[in-house]
Structure 1
Amino acid sequence: MAMIPRRTLAFVIFAVGCLSALLVLVFRLIDNRAQAFSAASVLISGIALTGVVVSLTFQAQQTKAARDERDRSTHRQMIYLTMGDRALAECLEPPNAPMPFERYRQFIFANLIIGRWYAAHQLGDVDDSTLRYTLERHFRGEIGRAHWEYGRHDWLRGAIGGQQRKAAAFADIVEDCYKAAVNAGPAVPTADYFTHEGTDLDPQNS
């Protein structure tokens, strides 16, 4: 069952509260009961109309969210196929500069990671502070930095050059975190990510 967004729920509660207060005020100020009930009927109709508008708005939002998720799922499936098949990857646009296919696959996957955070930020599931914390860790690594350095122009041009304020805010945060990571020092090389097989990783013995 879909959950009603907090902003929508807050608006409904506020609207119902205001209209209810108006109902009480009408009965207190209007001595003529017939006129009071007539005014109350108008207010009740307003409450009902507000409910219909909110319901239709929510349904439209849910339909759009479902359509967007379907499109993203199709896109992810296509990307996963190209990551495993060089012949299919050649159907996409060529990289900005020639590179080994393995590095190209890493960049594609890193782009999926950034895309996931982008979607969560747009939906309000991830706030700015959480996004910054996540990106600070992401840009400690070699591939994270290399990917953003490679693809940042397309991200910044597409987001900041567009009309969506939140998209531009997301791109600004990613760029700020990337620059901060570069200024903090070199990235952790991928060769240093993992220990040799069989190494004891028990925190008590470290």
Structure 2
Amino acid sequence: MPTNRRGIRYYGAHWSVLGIAVLAAVLATPFALDALAPKDLEWGRLSDISQTYGAVSVLASAAALVGVALSLAYQARQTRIQNEETHASAHRELVLLSLSDPVYQVCWEPPNTPVTEERWRQLLVANLIVSMWSSDYKLSIMDDRTTLAVLGDYFRGEIGRAYWHNSGPSWHQYFDHSRDARQRRFVSLADEAYNAAAAAGPPILARDYFAPPATPPGR
């Protein structure tokens, strides 16, 4: 996943330190002026300047708070990305475990459509692929146009189309009432791409994906 987590941590810490430093400087300035000012300084004349300083200090304080807010936003995004990666990793390990031994495949929910054991293994891998694109869309790595293009191309194939025919209803069951608007939107885009692919004609069969090996000369 193309996410620069180190950069997020750096900029988050940078904004936090900068915001705290600016705020501390603003708060300390009046005391520093009082300590350093000459004894005969006309404080009455300085009051007009202090009013201007007060306005500037408010702006500086606001800028510091904005910096802290930006830092918190960066950190929240980092946490969300890490949670997504942890979830995806756990899902991938479970699928790989299921593929390693057929006895584990019945530990998942039964297929929505009758399929062979071989097709079920193919659908498990297809689930990993579509879930990867779902995660990319949730993190705004892919926009609507890119998602439609990727899914539209995927559903041209037999396995991809069989996957959504079997598992699309489950995606709707899980996410139609979810508070995650981008997850709901991804399911809608997948439906749109699937329907467009189906309207365009039959899928490309798995056996037709690759050309047969070339026959060596003289045979």
TM-score (norm 1): 0.78
Q: Which amino acid aligns with 1:190?
A: A
1:124 Cα deviation from its structure 2 partner? 0.9
Q: Spell out, residue by residue over 1:49-70, the C-alpha distance to the aligned partner (whole angstroms, 9 max, x if none).
A: 2211221232122123212211
Q: Which amino acid aligns with 1:72?
A: A
Mean alpha-carbon deviation: is it higher for 31-40 or for 67-76? Answer: 31-40
Identity of aligned residues (%): 36
Could you list the runs of 4 or more consecutive aligned residues of structure 1 that deviate by over 3 angstroms after TM superposition?
Answer: none
| Greater RCO, 1 or 2 (C-alpha within 8 Å, sep 6+) | 2
1:133 is aligned to 149
Q: Spell out, residue by residue over 1:103-144, the C-alpha distance to the aligned partner (whole angstroms, 9 max, x if none).
A: 001111111111111111111111111111111211111111
1:22 is aligned to none
1:90 is aligned to 106
Query: Residue 202 of structure 2: which of 175, 186, 189 is its match?
Result: 186
Q: Give the superposed CA RMSD.
A: 2.4
1:122 is aligned to 138
1:96 Cα deviation from its structure 2 partner? 2.8
1:168 Cα deviation from its structure 2 partner? 1.6
1:157 Cα deviation from its structure 2 partner? 2.4
Query: Residue 172 of structure 2: which of 150, 156, 168 is its match?
Result: 156
Q: Does 1:79 align with 2:95?
A: yes
Query: Residue 175 of structure 1: which of 186, 191, 199 is its match?
Result: 191
Partners in 2 of 1:141 and 1:54 — Cα distance? 44
Partners in 2 of 1:169 and 1:199 — Cα distance? 48
Distance 1:116 1:199, change over 3 A: farther
Q: In the alignment, is the contact (CA less than 8 A) between 2:111 and 2:166 conserved in 1? A: no
Partners in 1 of 2:205 and 2:123 — Cα distance? 15
Q: Spell out, residue by residue over 1:144-168, the C-alpha distance to the aligned partner (whole angstroms, 9 max, x if none).
A: 1111001110112222222222112
Structure 1 unaligned regions, length at least 5: 13-30, 201-206
Number of aligned pairs?
178
Partners in 1 of 2:108 and 2:165 — Cα distance? 20
Mean alpha-carbon deviation: is it higher for 103-112 or for 46-55? Answer: 46-55
1:101 Cα deviation from its structure 2 partner? 1.5
Q: In the alignment, is the contact (CA less than 8 A) between 2:98 and 2:105 conserved in 1? A: yes
1:196 Cα deviation from its structure 2 partner? 1.7
1:68 is aligned to 84
Query: Residue 108 of structure 1: which of 124, 140, 162 is its match?
Result: 124
